[in-house]
Structure 1
Amino acid sequence: MHDKRALQTEDILQLNVVSDPQFTPDGQAFTYTLTTIHEQNEYESQLMYQNLKEKQTTPWTFHSSKNSKLRLSPDGKRAVFQSTRSGRPQLWLLHTDGGEAKQLTTFRYGAMDPMWSKDSQHIFFTAPLEHDDDIHNQTEPSKEEEKKEKEAKKKQPFMINRLKYKSDARGFHDDTRSQIIRLTIDNSSLLQITDGDADYRLQDISPDSTTLLYTANLNDHADYELNNDLYCFQMFTKETTKLTDGKGIYHNARFSPDGSKIACFGHEFAYKGASLTELYLFDIKTKEKSCLSSDWDIEIGDAMIGDTRLGESEIGPVWNEDSSKIFFIVTNQGATELHAASIYGKKEEIYKDNNHIFGFAYNKHCQCFILGISSPTNPGEFYLLHDNGSLEALTDHNCAFLKEIALQEPEELSIQTEDNWQVQGWVLRPYAFIEGKKYPTILEIHGGPHAMYGQAFFFEMQLLAAKGYVVLYTNPRGSHGYGQSFVNACRGDYGGGDYRDVMTAVDDAIEKFSFIDTERLGVTGGSYGGFMTNWIVGHTNRFKAAVTQRSISNWLSFYGVSDIGFFFTEWEHGVNLLDDPTKLWEFSPLKYAANIETPLLILHGELDYRCPIEQGEQLFITLKHLKKEVEFIRFPNANHELSRSGDPNMRMERLQHMLRWFDTYL
């Protein structure tokens, strides 16, 4: 008998998601963000504080809105944070010795990403501004005014004159650009630092508070490029220095504590979108750039895929107190790890334990870390990593959830492909597994394709296991975590080696696990995983049911309708639409629609601009016209992130439809 019950779809409402751990300046406590779903089916984020000695957690906000990005002033007396309580995200100020939060900004389009100067006198932030906006005359529209504005917009034609006019995150772009602004605390005065037809992203402020570090693309042909350069701006002289050469993409740039160097992530598109992220070092005096990671062959950052991570967390680079070391997360073999590098490029492991580190904070006072850790059987909590390598639990927000619900531990597979690649995979057994019984099995395929499945909590997979399915998931060629050659290996070969990898994994799993019912196999995946699902059912009748999510069916139209199509098509396939339409059609799943005999459920968000809904529509109409077994579910107001951060009701509906389809046909 099982002492815990099986997971249900509505249990997604119970999850508590932690993010953004930040040590207080004295190192005695830390703050973080806790995201939940409240009764009105909306996300709510509160700011939490925990004293490390007493282990007592205190909420610092109570308002049912999204509160995030809490940043304590270096003197520890005040805290600035971002909140949607007035409507748009705005900045609010708290005194750490108590009292009500005070609203600092009322910008028309909101104010975001606050950062303190090291002297605690100024807050720097970004705000979307139109070209002639006056920052001293900004008022946030009321909900009524915002509603009227939206209605008026619906009656106006939308004029487009640039290539990058929409994105999955923002929808159709307006005329605003992200500008950097300084707020002086004592007199509430505002100073606009940047101005121009570019999006500026503040990266850091120098230890002496005189120099800003920001990224932007200021090239003449910025609309046609994905480059992002790194700049230093001297506050007193107004002098701007460009640190990079317009040939790469740079982000997460940080000054060393002694002010002599800058560490940052980036790459120079050596393998287009499959390029490994590198760790760069800039010398402030000489302006010389060096790549510390050139011989590491490892992805820096967190490429793990999950469906329950909400809120951002630090992934690095973070400097140690004497400017000799840099800390950062790496993606490696189905897990993420905390590593350090000296300024000469010598790398060392700080923590690894075959799980998902989704963020960290470094305490310069005791050289210890707070790690955000998730695993297949833990949605994620914070732990103190002591200098002897031991972990101490700090939070337990999912305690009730884990006490009541059974979750399955994955069993690892190592799959040898016909051309001698090693592919890593995992199997989840079904809830209340009985030895000797045969079970229907579902193959899950991740998106990206340059991302990674691994030792992280994944609600969808656990739910399928809870409902009696074996779940098989793998990292075929093209996935991160296994070096540059592996992540690059699917480019120009979609539906080739990657298809053979996942099919070999199915064969291997069947050979290893006698409980897999070979007559009841299902397949599902989203984005690139949706492409691969469509490709699979057009090339084999081995699967008895398929669910394709936010998928790609036609690369010819994808080029022109996706927010990334105009570069992604060339990056991944080597050709654009006008170069060789025949080649693009060859590996479009739509070409093979007549071969599809597998009952197919198509799930798609109507506001998905990454893999637009017309990709699902074309496939549905073609299959329906051919009188195939197909159904199409459209999710209103849902973008590409539906399964991860979409409307909670819609997320549950999506899971229910998936279960219904597999239950019907398997």
Structure 2
Amino acid sequence: MKAEQLPLLNSVSAPATHPDGTRAVVSVTRPDFDADAYVGQLWSIPFDQAMPPRRITRGFRDTAPAFSPDGKVLAFLRTTPDGKPQLHVVEANGGEPQAITDQKLGVSEFSWAPDSRRMVFSSRVPEEGRYGTVDGVGAGSEDPRLITGNQYRLNGLGYTADKPAQLFVVDVPEPGMEPPVVPAGRAAKARGSEAVGLVPPAVQLTFGDADHTSPSFSSDGTSVYFVASLHEGHDADIASDIYRVPAAGGETTALRPDAAPQSVHEVCESVNGEWLFFTAQDLGDDGLDFVARNTALYSMPVRGGSATMLSDVENQDIGGRLEARGADGVLALNTSRGSVQLIQWTADGESEVLVKGPLVVIGASAVGDVVAVTYGDASSSGEVGVLEKGEFRLLTDFAKAFRDGATVLEPQEFTATGTDGYPVHGWAVLPEGNGPHPVLLTIHGGPFAQYTGAFFDEAQVYAEAGYAVLMCNPRGSAGYGQAHGGAIKEKMGTVDMADVLTFLEGALEAFPAMDRESIGIMGGSYGGYLTAWVIGHEHRFKAAIVERGFLDPVSFAGSSDIGWFFGGQYTGGSSEQMAAQSPMAVVTEVRTPTLVIHSENDLRCPVEQGQRYFAALKAQGVDAALLLFPGEDHELSRSGTPHHRRQRFEQILAWWARHLPSTANPPRETGSVTG
């Protein structure tokens, strides 16, 4: 794969299965260089393979499809090039989509009511005078913000305290109903200043300064469940819980007022209305101890009672949107050893793994005995399959254009064992040819995250350029149990560094085509941290790339959106502990040529982390460069603008061409990164 082939990569959403069990709808989006944005539409995927998939909408970016329970209407979010996502509906059998919201800051998520006549949605509500609510008052002319709490901004969103996410209920127009029109001429004069709504009025259900997320209706349609942090002292912890509010509006009720601190992610009621399923992480007594805490699946009686943990919290990490199945069951995803599985649970704790193997399940939805599944594997970033009568059938080939136009190299699974006997699991992606190939040791972010064996654009681009790419999940990573993930708590840069170096040595022995004298190291976020830490202790690498790194725990505490709790939980809060695990504390030992990459709007690992690290390298004479991306945040490599994502790849390869050239990426006279 080459950087210019990014537009060939299709991403596929979780599926929405039609209630009649004959088809599913997904959104398929891709980067587009001409629009410098992500574009995509909805596709209908028949389960009868005699009928081909087809595109059914023509919007700029249509996402998040969901059928009404009666199957008559398809809802989705539509984004225009210059607008925010708004909720739209269209008749399930086809027609012209109709907008039913015009929220100032757009709609983020929604859910159908059982009667198919209403939807609940979440939307950020701006404080008056901000975010364009007053004509002529731009961002630079707004009143100052008086900050008194810890939680007031988030990476990718900016300030949040002045635009909390609230819940609304909106009535859905009858299919085929005549749309409203804007009065003109004499009719407009007669109405005067009376407003004419082109969308149905939405009733706001929640208020206050907290975010209200993950809304869903009760099975009888009278209430809405949601997740929020409404407890006393919520600004001093990261706990959240489950609440319920009448669907017609009214008083909010906490469903677990005496529960120990947890971070609740998703909630849904069983089809029979007897059980409430939810996913949550325990957070210790202070509501902050999040390090390597797997997310567990719970059930609790709707009519009251204690919650029961259904999953194995030590070895299973449950995520994704919860999808009710059967009378008292639910579908959920489990992160496991570089894959993501689909598992079904019943309220009494019985479980069955429905989809597993070397793939990453993206989402699923079920009707009766039919389960539609979207997933990624080694050769595709998103396909749709159906599980029916125990048989799993692939229904799409959205990666065909990519495979026809690009080289896809298969990751080779590998486990290395360190001197302490600990296994380090990962993959190698080797270029074509016999070698010797220069090696790139890559380190993922998180740290409680994982590399997988599924398609990864970065590994493919570097391998296409002639590099053997190594990816492993050292201690600190997710997917291998809580003990594995928690091994670096207050010990960052210890066993995790040992593990990545163990994996490197093991791979060099296992794959003779790798050139052990030509090795580079790179990583982003926590991967940027560990890269910077390693080159402060090891000098075998020809060059390094430190991207969006967590580089100084001290300044991170005051500059990052999560700095008020994250660093203290991982490194410990004392100055001695921070210094003992800080890349800035060992920067004077670095001799490796280093490219520092950062984004100007990064609030997770703020740009000052990269700037200060770069300045320290330059001050001591290290060959260093700083690559800054305007308008981007911490997610540049994953969801930055297509133009910037391509430029990032080009600049990374230029750096490697200069310091670690390969046959396919030779030294160049122009286009290199400069200081």
Shift of residue 45 of structure 1?
Answer: 2.4
Q: 1:457 to 1:294 in 2, by over 3 A?
A: closer
Q: 1:215 to 1:333 in 2, by over 3 A?
A: same
Residue matched to 2:168: 181
Q: 1:253 aligns with which of 244, 267, 284?
A: 267
Return the alpha-carbon distance in structure 2 between the equivalents of residues 239 and 23 of structure 1: 34
Return the alpha-carbon distance in structure 2 between the equivalents of residues 232 and 32 of structure 1: 29
Greater displacement, 221-230 / 94-103: 94-103
Return the alpha-carbon distance in structure 2 between the equivalents of residues 429 and 130 of structure 1: 50
Shift of residue 186 of structure 1?
Answer: 5.2
Residue pairs, 1:451-490, within 5 angstroms: 451-490=449-488
Return the alpha-carbon distance in structure 1 between the equivalents of residues 126 and 10 of structure 2: 37
Residue pairs, 1:156-555, within 5 angstroms: 157-173=144-160, 175-185=162-172, 188-235=200-247, 238=250, 240-244=252-256, 245=259, 247-270=261-284, 272-294=290-312, 297-301=315-319, 315-323=320-328, 325-364=329-368, 367-388=369-390, 390-430=391-431, 432-434=432-434, 437-555=435-553
Shift of residue 344 of structure 1?
Answer: 2.5
Residue matched to 1:92: 88
- Partner secondary structure for residue 613 of structure 2: helix
- Tell me the amino acid that sits aligned with residue 327 of structure 2: D
Residue matched to 1:3: none
CA contact (8 A) 1:606 1:636 kept: yes
Deviations along 1:289-346, one digit per CA (max 9) or x if unpaired, are 1111256622112xxxxxxxxxxxxx343232221x3322111111111122232223
Deviations along 1:180-199, one digit per CA (max 9) or x if unpaired, are 11112359343221122221
Deviations along 1:546-566, one digit per CA (max 9) or x if unpaired, are 111111221111111111111
Residue matched to 1:113: 109
Q: 1:149 to 1:68 in 2, by over 3 A?
A: farther
Shift of residue 159 of structure 1?
Answer: 3.7
Return the alpha-carbon distance in structure 1 between the equivalents of residues 121 and 537 of structure 2: 51
Return the alpha-carbon distance in structure 2 between the equivalents of residues 190 and 59 of structure 1: 30
Return the alpha-carbon distance in structure 2 between the equivalents of residues 237 and 108 of structure 1: 21
**TM-score of the aligned structures, taking structure 2 as reference length:** 0.88
- Partner secondary structure for residue 459 of structure 2: helix
| Equivalent pairs, count | 626
Return the alpha-carbon distance in structure 2 between the equivalents of residues 413 and 15 of structure 1: 26
Return the alpha-carbon distance in structure 1 between the equivalents of residues 30 and 290 of structure 2: 37
Alignment of 1:634 onto 2:638: no
Return the alpha-carbon distance in structure 2 between the equivalents of residues 640 and 166 of structure 1: 14
Residue matched to 1:125: 121
- Partner secondary structure for residue 566 of structure 1: coil
Greater displacement, 528-537 / 95-104: 95-104
Residue matched to 1:136: none
Return the alpha-carbon distance in structure 2 between the equivalents of residues 131 and 552 of structure 1: 32
- Tell me the amino acid that sits aligned with residue 636 of structure 2: L
Q: 1:109 to 1:433 in 2, by over 3 A?
A: same
Return the alpha-carbon distance in structure 2 between the equivalents of residues 182 and 319 of structure 1: 21
Shift of residue 156 of structure 1?
Answer: 5.3
Return the alpha-carbon distance in structure 1 between the equivalents of residues 145 and 247 of structure 2: 38
Return the alpha-carbon distance in structure 2 between the equivalents of residues 239 and 128 of structure 1: 20
- Partner secondary structure for residue 579 of structure 2: helix
- Tell me the amino acid that sits aligned with residue 323 of structure 2: V
Return the alpha-carbon distance in structure 2 between the equivalents of residues 100 and 654 of structure 1: 39
Shift of residue 204 of structure 1?
Answer: 1.5
Q: 1:593 to 1:403 in 2, by over 3 A?
A: same
Return the alpha-carbon distance in structure 1 between the equivalents of residues 404 and 214 of structure 2: 43
Residue matched to 2:71: 76
- Partner secondary structure for residue 539 of structure 1: coil
Greater displacement, 589-598 / 447-456: 589-598
Return the alpha-carbon distance in structure 2 between the equivalents of residues 189 and 552 of structure 1: 45
Return the alpha-carbon distance in structure 2 between the equivalents of residues 381 and 326 of structure 1: 22
Return the alpha-carbon distance in structure 2 between the equivalents of residues 190 and 41 of structure 1: 33
Shift of residue 406 of structure 1?
Answer: 1.9
- Tell me the amino acid that sits aligned with residue 419 of structure 1: D
Q: 1:131 to 1:558 in 2, by over 3 A?
A: closer
- Tell me the amino acid that sits aligned with residue 280 of structure 2: G
Residue matched to 1:312: none
Return the alpha-carbon distance in structure 1 between the equivalents of residues 441 and 474 of structure 2: 12
Return the alpha-carbon distance in structure 2 between the equivalents of residues 106 and 320 of structure 1: 33
- Tell me the amino acid that sits aligned with residue 385 of structure 1: L
Return the alpha-carbon distance in structure 1 between the equivalents of residues 548 and 642 of structure 2: 17
CA contact (8 A) 1:180 1:202 kept: no
Residue matched to 2:24: 30
- Tell me the amino acid that sits aligned with residue 401 of structure 1: F
CA contact (8 A) 1:131 1:197 kept: no
Shift of residue 429 of structure 1?
Answer: 1.1
Return the alpha-carbon distance in structure 1 between the equivalents of residues 45 and 621 of structure 2: 60
- Tell me the amino acid that sits aligned with residue 658 of structure 2: T
Residue matched to 1:574: 572
Return the alpha-carbon distance in structure 2 between the equivalents of residues 243 and 471 of structure 1: 48
Shift of residue 600 of structure 1?
Answer: 0.4
Deviations along 1:609-633, one digit per CA (max 9) or x if unpaired, are 1001111111111111111110110
- Partner secondary structure for residue 6 of structure 2: helix
Residue pairs, 1:133-144, within 5 angstroms: none
Return the alpha-carbon distance in structure 1 between the equivalents of residues 249 and 406 of structure 2: 60
CA contact (8 A) 2:214 2:265 kept: no
Shift of residue 167 of structure 1?
Answer: 1.0
- Tell me the amino acid that sits aligned with residue 114 of structure 2: K
Shift of residue 653 of structure 1?
Answer: 0.9
Return the alpha-carbon distance in structure 1 between the equivalents of residues 333 and 167 of structure 2: 28
Return the alpha-carbon distance in structure 1 between the equivalents of residues 445 and 376 of structure 2: 20
Return the alpha-carbon distance in structure 2 between the equivalents of residues 379 and 468 of structure 1: 22
Unaligned runs of 5+ in 2: 175-199, 661-675
Deviations along 1:207-250, one digit per CA (max 9) or x if unpaired, are 11112111111123222221111012344794543222261111
**TM-score of the aligned structures, taking structure 1 as reference length:** 0.90
- Tell me the amino acid that sits aligned with residue 71 of structure 1: A
Residue pairs, 1:558-597, within 5 angstroms: 558-575=556-573, 580-597=574-591
Return the alpha-carbon distance in structure 1 between the equivalents of residues 354 and 347 of structure 2: 16
- Partner secondary structure for residue 427 of structure 2: strand
- Partner secondary structure for residue 271 of structure 2: coil
CA contact (8 A) 1:608 1:640 kept: yes
Residue pairs, 1:56-71, within 5 angstroms: 56-64=52-60, 66-71=61-66
